[in-house]
Structure 1
């Protein structure tokens, strides 16, 4: 049994997500926790962030990244999903999202999967290696969710306020 199996499960995810949300409220950081629909997979946090997209033709456009943090029951790990859309509400293509993030090898990290709760397609950091990554990197963290998010978030354009790191020690 790996460390992640002993330290992180759905109940622990909910507890650590609540800690993150409480700090977000104090920081006015914008994380919203969506209520559970069922006992296994129903809770997730979401946050919207606007970014400037500098297109190849020299034009700039503001796009919204909507990040969701949920729990993947198949792998028993947290998962980050996101969608990107323009001001008019139209969703960007996978390729456009990858260009905004300037990912060199997006297929090795991002895939389109159904959101664990909403069951609609989102770009997702595939959870298959997450348990091993967490086990090797964050087994001593007091908030594995924040530690994981601080490491994986920058790859998808999400950074955390430094105050979140106080939850990990």
Structure 2
């Protein structure tokens, strides 16, 4: 039974598959991981590398307005294929996972950031992530570190308690997952969704 403010596992999967189909069309990098035949054991995920501008002092700016590292390196290599880019001083790796909570029957966003070229090295702290979220429209305060329920490793996450309210607001959406994610994304290390995803909600 679909209770207001919740999403069933079947609906989560259906919404996620439509999301992934759009991601593939846009070459946006999202993928399904885990076992979708077992409720709560599959999730969608994306990992991307970004450039941290050497002359920027704004942490939030670094996480939300930087260029994709692949685009930057491709541009640099087109300029001089025999010379490595010298402008890149720091790299930021961001990884986002969207899971389904069996306890709350809502989507949950887990994420990590690493201020290095390799995941696991020099991670973004809870305090840093909270300072990044201050510029977000949602102003989400329920950010903490938790053990990823599938991987068993520490991740930052947005507590699902607020998601019931968000799902009620977007109850008429044809893709509740996209509507929910577009609302909470700005509080998760500057996650941005391309506007084309909104077509799935109409």
**If the TM-score is normalised by the length of the shorter chain, which range does it land in?**
0.7 to 0.9
> Could you tell me which of 120, 134, 138 is aligned with 1:103?
134
Mapping for residues 86-165 of structure 1, pairs under 5 Å:
86-89=116-119, 90=121, 91-99=123-131, 101-103=132-134, 108-135=141-168, 137-156=169-188, 157-165=190-198
Runs of 4+ in structure 1 displaced over 6 angstroms? Answer: 104-107
Report the TM-score when normalising by structure 2.
Answer: 0.72
Q: Number of residues paired by the alignment?
A: 163
* TM-score normalized with structure 1 length: 0.84
Higher strand share: 1
Pair member with larger Rg:
2
**Equivalent residue, structure 2, for 1:36:** 35
Q: CA deviation at 1:49?
A: 2.7
Partner of 1:19: 18
Aligned pairs (5 A) from 1:37-56: 39-51=38-50, 52=52, 54=56
Is 2:100 the partner of 1:71?
yes
After superposition, the CA RMSD in angstroms is 2.6
Q: Cα 1:55–1:111, aligned 2, differ >3 Å: closer, same or farther?
A: same
Q: Which runs of 5+ in 1 are unaligned?
A: none
Structure 2: segments with no counterpart, 5+ residues: 59-88
Whole-angstrom CA distance in 2 between matches of 1:146 and 1:49: 19
